[in-house]
Structure 1
Amino acid sequence: MSEDRSSSITRRLPPGTATERWTGARHGMATTYRRADLVVLGVGVMIGAGIFSLAGRQAATMAGPGVILSFMIAGITSMLVAFCIAELSSAMPASGSAYTFTYVIFGEVWAWIVGWALVMELLVATAVVARAWSLYAAQMLADLRVPIPAPLAGVVGQTEGFDLFTLLILVLLVAVVALGARIGLRALWIIVVAKLLTIGAVIVIGALHFDQGNLTAIPAPPAPVPAASETLQSSVLGLLFGQTDAFGWFGIFAASATIAFAYIGFDVVATAAEEAEDAPRAVPRGIIRSLMVTTVIYIAVAVVMVGMTSYDEIDLNAPLASAFRRAGVDFMVHVINIGAVLGLTTVVLVLLVGLTRVVFAMARDGLFPRSLAKVNRTYHSPTRATLVIGLAAVLLAEFVPVLTLEPLVVIGALYTFIASAAGVIRMRRTMPGLPRGFRTPFSPYVPAASILACLWLMVNLQVVTWLYFAVWMAFGLLVYLLYGRRNSLLATGGGRPAVDPAYGNRGRHRR
């Protein structure tokens, strides 16, 4: 294949090349994940500390007891997207998730844009969650009355600046991921089981103090909320209409936009497709089953939260913990703290796994330096990529006020979700013969509904979030023009298709 720099907008990665090309030890990933492992992977990344606070905060400020419906709406929106990603991952079970799907369906430039958004989403999320882990760990020690040595008091549990706990959790989990997926998988199983046990305790004991009268006001009476005085702090929707309502039906739908952040992460399961047994069938099931489990758990916790306390009496600082204190069950505060720390630990771990696989895939295609795609022969893991990513996460978490950047995770994820949904519609038209282990039901209506739902959630984000996202994407396009466009394997002749590019491999989906 001759060098083809003029057609970088249209050149596409053949589907067979995406799934069958990488057979050597240098760029091949070992098979690690079974079907149950993929479900644990999804649950591990989706259920974090927010499960103990998100429902209470949204109930108190936006949705009232209707927050239960907000969780259902966000869950349905996520499920629509999950169907689309499930089909794409069953047809192209390779590392890279939405990046690889876009490369095959739309072309290299679009793949780079989606991959760049994925890198931002996962990197910022890793830094944000690591910083949140430090805050919860410090709070847990304080509630347990474990003293922190005076010399360390100023560098533990800090929202900004150097934080020792943030550094320690990132270094530890980067080491776990670098040493191989099997080690990380064992740790993930242990922590997820412990996390689910603590959440189960919260649901069962909270149900004992349930007051059905707290759910009678669905929807709660609406209350006008003026738009933010500063344009950049307004949501796009608020900027357009000038005033929005809290509570009522509008509040229920508006809360679903924030709650959608809790479900983000199910797409990370697709990044492990190349390491999964029977990936064309196992990965779609892992995505959908983990999202169903997560949705049920979130709704159950939301019901307990608003059932224990009237929405106008919720403590915003510690919604669920304060509810248990009022009920006289003080020991549950410690259970919640432990559950939060465990939950955030698995989130950071799985985010690092997903981010490593996206960078690995982009490097393997030549869009990032190829050295990042080297698989360590001892640990069967892209160790070099993991260490580079770990360093970037540490620098971001320690020197940038990352807790203010959380909306970037949401907009990055929603952007890639839209690309995936559009990919299903186009793939059905241009590659109808490509073998699939799963098909999105009612296509193209479900993908179209996914796109509209994601756009609705995006317009509820602040203007400043859109500006930050635009700057990141513009910088990424510059990086592509200066490096990726010239070093892409499709441009340099290193990406020749392994099988029929129109249909992929009709036999084995695995190498």
Structure 2
Amino acid sequence: MRRLPPSEATGRWTGARHALPAAYGQTDLVVLGIGVMIGSGIFSVAGRQAATMAGPGVILSFMIAGITSLLVAFCIAELSSAMPASGSAYTFAYVIFGEVWAWIVGWALVMELLLAAAVVSRVWSLYAAQMLVDLGVRIPEPLSGVIGQERGFDLFTLLILVLLTGVVALGARVGLRTLWIIVIAKLAAIGAVIVVGATHFDQDNLAAIPAPAEPIKTASAALDSPLLGLAFGQTTAFGWFGIFAAAATITFAYIGFDVVATAAEEAKDAPRSVPKGIIRGLVITTVIYIAVAIVMVGMTPYKEINVEAPLASAFRQAGEGFMVHVINIGAVLGLTTVVLVLLVGLTRVVFSMARDGLFPRPLARINRGYHSPTTATLVIGVLAILLAEFVPVLTLEPLVVIGTLFAFVAVAAGVIRMRRTMPDLPRGFRTPLSPYVPIASILASLWLMVNLQVITWLYFLAWMTFGLLVYLAYGRRKSALAGGRPPLEPPVAVRGGLRGRHRR
């Protein structure tokens, strides 16, 4: 149960060729969070969950997911301010709990971010193809079978992943400029949706929460049921079980604020700027999501919502056909930033694990020209492409949620333990009302986890078991701590003197 010393987590690589350059200011970190949290889900998830799981109670589902995320955000903010390293929850676990738990958390993060990038890129293709159709652009016959496909080879999915992998490989500054432009454009589209949709709001659509339906007692229905609902004999939707089940699914929409912590090593004045960036970005996103949810269920009775295109159909029924184009453009732009930031976050997690020896060391090399872990970025891009093209990733979306919630539990527990074992460690932010907020974070995250489907739990346990075998076969022996201390590389000669004087 070897642990990484806090000083090694934050100071070991300063100035070395394995160091990442400072690129993000405080506002940049807020934009980074908004960029990854607000995607196509803002135009679809409220309608889908209202129609199939929660009815008008979907507004409460968004609030529950948002409050849970905010509780966790406080915990991540404290740990990031104390250990501003690129590995985020992985590095926190390494310092606080030890290498085995660090590997488990890091393995869950890899699953979460890699699968999320594949899922979102596939959804990007669906929206991009729909946008072309709605604009009257005719897709050539030879390409019609490989564009906008839910399964099998998809050309648009390949193109967006290749393009954004290239942007990330070119360095943080190139990606940041691209991110700013797209985030501003998609916020304008969302603002138009809220303003125009509010003019068609009907409070009668916010009726009482529908009663739960009768459970379907089959083996297939049991696997697709929430774990908690199955325990209480409630295997279908609506009622309070439906609201909590929808909240667990909606957590997918909030996923990403923790990715901001992976940029801590590249942030200016990280102990103060990263906590502010995480919390402000999450609060802004939560307000926007709830506003869109209110507009969605206020425009159309939940029984009449078109699950395939809920918000677009609602605007068509209201006679606002031009808003369909706004939604399509906003969704495409939103998903672009989501994939971009997910690739950035995953690259930093893999980079940190490789730097510690748990993944092959070449993945931790920084390209001198682009000041970016180019090798890790390209490997991740290839894996994301293979996963998106050859695995039915749209059916695996809940795995992203369970991986995220698992990391949330580890982070909240880390705050409690760090307060006891490292009380003098400098922090730029302290979680309010500790240990009550971290405990509430753990309970809320576990509550959402048990509201996920049984089949999701089985897949997650299989992934984590496989990861533990990988650690025993490779990471345990190759770890930088296996020799008793992390090896520090010699300084690298550069023009004007030496670079890489390592702080102790």
Q: What secondary structure is seen at the aligned counterpart in 2 of 1:435?
A: coil
Corresponding residue number in structure 2 for 1:408? 399
CA distance in 1, matches of 2:77, 2:398: 25
Q: What secondary structure is seen at the aligned counterpart in 2 of 1:267?
A: helix
Conserved? CA contact 1:93–1:280, under 8 Å: yes
Alpha-carbon deviation of 1:349?
0.1
Number of equivalences: 490
Superposed CA deviations along residues 416-461 of structure 1, whole A, max 9, x for unmatched, are: 1000010001000000000111111111111111111111111111
Conserved? CA contact 1:414–1:454, under 8 Å: yes
Of 315-324 and 270-279, deviating more is 315-324
CA distance in 2, matches of 1:497, 1:28: 12
Superposed CA deviations along residues 118-154 of structure 1, whole A, max 9, x for unmatched, are: 0010000000101111111011111111011111111
Change (3 A) 1:257 1:32: same
Match among 201, 211, 231 for residue 210 of structure 1: 201
CA distance in 1, matches of 2:94, 2:340: 27
Amino acid at match of 2:290: I
The unaligned stretches of length 5 or more in structure 2 are: 490-502
Q: Is 1:110 matched up with 2:101?
A: yes
Match among 147, 157, 181 for residue 138 of structure 2: 147
Corresponding residue number in structure 2 for 1:171? 162
CA distance in 2, matches of 1:393, 1:244: 33
Change (3 A) 1:228 1:409: farther
Conserved? CA contact 1:366–1:488, under 8 Å: yes
Task: Indicate the RMSD between aligned Cα atoms, in angstroms.
Answer: 1.6
Match among 478, 484, 487 for residue 475 of structure 2: 484
Of 227-236 and 399-408, deviating more is 227-236
The unaligned stretches of length 5 or more in structure 1 are: 1-9, 499-509
Amino acid at match of 1:38: L
Corresponding residue number in structure 2 for 1:219? 209
CA distance in 2, matches of 1:377, 1:468: 40
Conserved? CA contact 1:129–1:344, under 8 Å: yes
Q: Is 1:351 matched up with 2:338?
A: no
Relative to the length of structure 1, the TM-score reads 0.93
CA distance in 2, matches of 1:379, 1:386: 12
Superposed CA deviations along residues 145-197 of structure 1, whole A, max 9, x for unmatched, are: 10111111111111111110000000000000000000000000000000000
Conserved? CA contact 2:226–2:245, under 8 Å: no
Residues 456-471 of structure 1: pairs in structure 2 closer than 5 A: 456-471=447-462
Corresponding residue number in structure 1 for 2:302? 311
CA distance in 2, matches of 1:29, 1:43: 22
Amino acid at match of 1:483: Y
Alpha-carbon deviation of 1:76?
0.3
Alpha-carbon deviation of 1:41?
0.4
Match among 96, 115, 120 for residue 124 of structure 1: 115
Q: Is 1:243 matched up with 2:234?
A: yes
Change (3 A) 1:221 1:477: closer
Match among 297, 317, 321 for residue 330 of structure 1: 321
Alpha-carbon deviation of 1:244?
4.4
Corresponding residue number in structure 2 for 1:133? 124
Q: Is 1:435 matched up with 2:426?
A: yes
Superposed CA deviations along residues 305-342 of structure 1, whole A, max 9, x for unmatched, are: 11111112111111111110111000001110111111
Q: What secondary structure is seen at the aligned counterpart in 1 of 2:20?
A: coil
Match among 351, 358, 369 for residue 360 of structure 1: 351
Q: Is 1:29 matched up with 2:20?
A: yes
Conserved? CA contact 1:227–1:243, under 8 Å: no
Structure 1 runs of 4+ aligned residues shifted over 4 Å read: none
Change (3 A) 1:475 1:247: closer
Q: Is 1:418 matched up with 2:428?
A: no
Q: Percent identity?
A: 79
Conserved? CA contact 1:25–1:375, under 8 Å: no
Alpha-carbon deviation of 1:253?
2.4
Q: What secondary structure is seen at the aligned counterpart in 1 of 2:257?
A: coil
Amino acid at match of 1:224: E
Match among 174, 177, 182 for residue 186 of structure 1: 177
Q: Is 1:58 matched up with 2:58?
A: no
Alpha-carbon deviation of 1:227?
5.2
Alpha-carbon deviation of 1:480?
1.0
CA distance in 2, matches of 1:272, 1:411: 22
Conserved? CA contact 2:40–2:334, under 8 Å: yes
CA distance in 2, matches of 1:361, 1:227: 46
Amino acid at match of 1:96: G
Superposed CA deviations along residues 82-133 of structure 1, whole A, max 9, x for unmatched, are: 1111111010000000000000000001101100110010000000101111
Alpha-carbon deviation of 1:238?
2.9
Amino acid at match of 2:264: A
